[in-house]
Amino acid sequence: MKKRLQRKREGLYWLVAGEAKWNPGSNQIYGRWGVPKYLQHVSYTAEGLKGLLKDGGSKRRAAIAELAKSAGGKLEACYFAFGESDLYCIIEAPDNTSAAAVALAANAAGAVRIKTTVLLTPEEVDQATRKSVTFHVPGQ
């Protein structure tokens, strides 16, 4: 028995026996675990740091939230940090292409360099551990 789970811009998603099903035209699963999340590792260029010094962190967070929203997503968390990356953001996006569009737009502006990591839920890792795959070690 199919039951409508939710309606998104890309189409309908269905809940069948407690499992979210793929929607044709999208490469993501919606449902039990929600919208896909992405961790963005942000490093400022010298020009970007000048802008940060001028505008401050709160204005940058607002700009990032607006960028994510323009791609159909949402900024979930935003933290400045010491170390290799200056800023870590977690965004929700409808799919990989939307997350990529966010990174491409920001990188193209030249003020930052963004590396995006797809985040998996523990349930998605559970599913991955149950998949049977074949791997041949090179040279053997």
Q: What is the pLDDT of residues 84-96, one digit of tens each?
A: 999 999 999 999 9
Residue with tokens 């935003």: 78
Q: Residue 92: helix, strand or coil by DSSP?
A: strand
How confident is residue 39, by pLDDT bands cut at 50, 70 and 90?
Answer: very high
List the chain domain ranges.
2-28, 37-121
Q: What is the pLDDT of residues 40-81, one digit of tens each?
A: 999 999 999 999 999 999 999 999 999 999 999 999 999 999
CATH class of the region 37-121: alpha beta
Q: Which residues contact 66 (CB under 8 A, 6 or more apart)?
A: none
The reported pLDDT for the residue numbered 11 is: 45
Distance CA 67, CA 46 (A): 21
Q: What is the pTM of this model?
A: 0.74
The reported pLDDT for the residue numbered 22 is: 47
